[in-house]
């Protein structure tokens, strides 16, 4: 066999190996991140066991980072922003509060969610849609003792209700808890 044929066979072998590795990576539900921080996520074949998953870090009052590097957006609720974003300014404008006040409220919501969930193994429950437009997992989250995290955050007064059809399984529960928190001046409503 000539050196040229051998090089061609090695090149084809490496190309096939690379394609197989890429396909395996894409089907594992992994992230690709650019140098500028933009994340691409391929959720094809995301069959991770979400019945007992570790919350690695709480990102903000309604977003978690799991041990498998997936972000979870808590369904049915919305907490004030604490990070610089268009939503921070939108929240301030809509509420008539200053950006600093919204940030402070966002920090309080973050702290309660962190206290309740960070470092704990949780169970995720899904509704009709499993991902949002940012490819975050949309979920209802249950703590190790069976407590319903999404509901607790609303009940303690650190979130408002935010439901988008078709993900409305607990909309009535969240609305009731929200009203009770406001009436009893809990959390952010003090």
21: confidence class by pLDDT, cuts 50, 70, 90: low
User: Class for domain 53-189, per CATH?
Assistant: mainly beta
> What is the tens place of the pLDDT at every residue in 144-183?
999 999 999 999 999 999 999 999 999 999 999 999 999 9
**Residue 124 C-alpha from the chain's centroid:** 11
The answer to whether 124 and 49 are in contact (CB under 8 A) is no
Higher pLDDT, 165 or 47: 165
Residue boundaries of the structural domains of the chain: 3-41, 53-189
Catalytic residues: 73, 81, 136
Q: Is the pLDDT of residue 36 over 50?
A: no
SS3 content of the chain, % helix, strand, coil (to 5): 40, 25, 35
């Amino acid at each position: 066999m000539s050196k040229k044929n051998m090089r061609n066979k090695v090149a084809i072998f490496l190309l096939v190996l690379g394609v197989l590795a890429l396909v395996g990576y894409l089907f594992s539900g992994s992230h690709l991140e650019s140098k500028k921080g933009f994340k691409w996520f391929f959720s094809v074949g995301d069959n991770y066991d979400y019945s007992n998953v570790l919350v690695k870090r709480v990102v903000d009052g309604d977003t978690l980072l799991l041990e498998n590097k997936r972000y979870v957006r808590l369904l049915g609720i919305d907490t004030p922003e604490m990070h610089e974003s268009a939503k921070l300014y939108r929240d301030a404008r809509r509420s008539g509060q200053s950006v600093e006040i919204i940030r402070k409220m966002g920090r309080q919501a973050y702290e309660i969610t962190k206290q309740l969930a960070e470092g704990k193994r949780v169970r995720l429950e899904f509704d009709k849609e499993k991902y949002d437009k940012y490819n975050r997992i949309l979920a209802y989250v249950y703590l190790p003792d069976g407590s319903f995290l999404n509901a607790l955050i609303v009940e303690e007064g650190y979130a408002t209700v935010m439901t988008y059809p078709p993900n409305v399984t607990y909309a009535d529960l969240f609305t009731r808890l929200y009203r009770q928190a406001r009436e009893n001046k809990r959390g952010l409503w003090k």
